[in-house]
Amino acid sequence: MEAAGEWALTFPALERLKFVAQLHGAGWLLLPDRPPLRIVAGDCCLIGRSAYTIASDPAVAPVEGAPLYADGNDLVHLGGDETVAIGGGIAFAPDAGGFLLDLLPPVMHISGTSPESTTIAAVLALLDRETSKDGLGQKLVAARLAEVLMIQAIRALASTQDMIGGWFGALAEPRLGRALRCFHGDIGRPWTVADLAAEAGMSRAAFSAAFTRQIGLPPLSYVRNWRLTRARAALASRHESIKRVAADIGYTSESAFGHAFRRHFGFAPRKSAG
């Protein structure tokens, strides 16, 4: 987006993880029930399951932004180029992104002045160069750089607990992060709270309380939800047998897996596999 003067674009809530990065100038990011967030050149924001508005000033009445990007249009020009911003995101298969999006806050802001933003600044500079010219393969290069930008933003958020709470904060916290990485590295293991607490170097009670407070789910609820999310993705994308998928995520009984799957998603595993 290139803009000058007064402008404001609003976008609906979608089941996706969105990024907005400021290349030049400044603006405001507005989300429901949150104070306006000032964004300047070098800043990057990840937006979860929330509607949002970008504007030159919070007081400007917005217009719908999505129609401006219809029919493959990837550039909106609003009166000038005092402000230049780029956006993109990760889309999910139907009903596949809920687990992650439920664990994330509506918006995550990475300041261009933070130590974690060094690599992001380099990617933004490359994106700025690519989007300002019409060279061979420009769209392809810009799309790949946008993917790298998203990964670097997530790394920045996960690298320091002070930047954000929730799931990213748990990954950044040394003890909780160690337990999470052990579980995600071997989800088929018959994990108990005691096992996870031992990986974290904490007592069961202290680990369970800290985990629930940070992530918003008790440890074994998190374990179950992630396993079933992985199972649904495996059944939908690889068409593996229900028995094999159940075993891969730690269920020794196909019937127990089917019962847990139906209780969590509201339908049988074979519906995902079909």
214-255 pLDDT, tens digit per residue, is 888 999 999 999 999 889 888 887 667 899 999 999 998 999
- Give 126 or 157, the one with higher predicted confidence: 126
Residue in the block written with tokens 């690889």: 238
The second-level CATH assignment, the architecture, of 173-273 is Orthogonal Bundle (1.10)
pLDDT tens digits along 69-89:
988 888 899 999 999 998 888
Determine how β-strand 77-78 pairs with β-strand 2-3.
parallel
pLDDT of residue 105: 82
pLDDT at 165: 65
Contact 246, 210 (CB under 8 A): no
Residue ranges covered by each domain of the chain: 2-160, 173-273
Stretch 110-134: mean pLDDT: 83
> Could you say which DSSP state residue 190 is in?
-
| The token pair that represents 84 in the structure block | 């230049």
- The CATH label, of 2.60.120, 2.60.40, 1.10.3470, 1.25.10, for the domain at 2-160 is 2.60.120
